[in-house]
């Protein structure tokens, strides 16, 4: 078992079931600066396409509980989405209890409808 996940189980961090979706860094799904996240991180297409960065956007209700720069651990049946993701962006205000995985436009991974998340950083 992954040491990080084992430590989380021992420490007893709160878990939550949330709905999921994906988004791409394009103007039709973001704003006029789709390659810059809400917290100011510049997105590298090369690293995003290669899967070396794992960024997630939170609905505003979840972002009230945890700030940018926090990490979440995603647990689900899809191995691509399991593991650690960095919170870097904010979803549209119409969404609640939802996370949005940032993916390259050529990525064809489909997320499960719901996942369990666990906060790695408890800072607010």
pLDDT in tens, 14-55: 789 999 999 998 888 888 888 889 889 999 989 998 889 999
Residue 10's pLDDT is 46
- Rounded distance, CA 87 to CA 89, Å? 6
| 23 vs 12, residue with greater confidence | 23
Residue 90's pLDDT is 94
Residue 119's pLDDT is 84
Residue 107's pLDDT is 87
Contacts of 72 (CB under 8 A, 6+ apart): 56, 84, 85, 87, 99, 117, 118, 119, 120
Is 111:101 a contact under the CB 8 Å cutoff? Answer: yes
Domains and CATH numbers, the chain: 3-119 (2.40.40.20)
For 89-110, what is the mean pLDDT?
93
Is 81:73 a contact under the CB 8 Å cutoff? Answer: no
Please determine, for residue 4, whether its predicted confidence score (pLDDT) is greater than 60: no
In angstroms, the Cα distances linking 106 to 11, 31, 85 are: 38, 20, 20
Contacts of 79 (CB under 8 A, 6+ apart): none
Residue 124's pLDDT is 46
Helix (H, G, I), strand (E, B) or coil at 59: coil
- Rounded distance, CA 87 to CA 66, Å? 9
CA 91, distance to chain mean position in Å, is 11
50-82 confidence digits (pLDDT tens): 889 999 999 999 998 888 999 999 999 899 999
Cα Rg, the chain, nearest whole Å:
14
């Amino acid at each position: 078992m992954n040491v990080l996940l084992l430590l989380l189980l021992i420490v007893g961090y709160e878990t939550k079931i949330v709905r999921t979706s994906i988004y791409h860094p394009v103007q039709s799904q973001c704003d006029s600066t789709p390659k810059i996240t809400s917290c100011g991180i510049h997105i590298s297409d090369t690293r995003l396409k290669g899967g070396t960065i794992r960024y997630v956007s939170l609905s505003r209700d979840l972002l009230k509980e945890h700030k940018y720069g926090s990490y979440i651990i995603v647990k689900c049946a899809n191995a691509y989405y399991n593991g650690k993701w960095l919170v870097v962006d904010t979803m549209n205000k119409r969404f609640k209890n939802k996370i949005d995985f940032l993916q390259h436009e050529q990525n064809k991974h489909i997320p499960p409808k719901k996942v369990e998340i666990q906060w790695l950083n408890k800072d607010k």
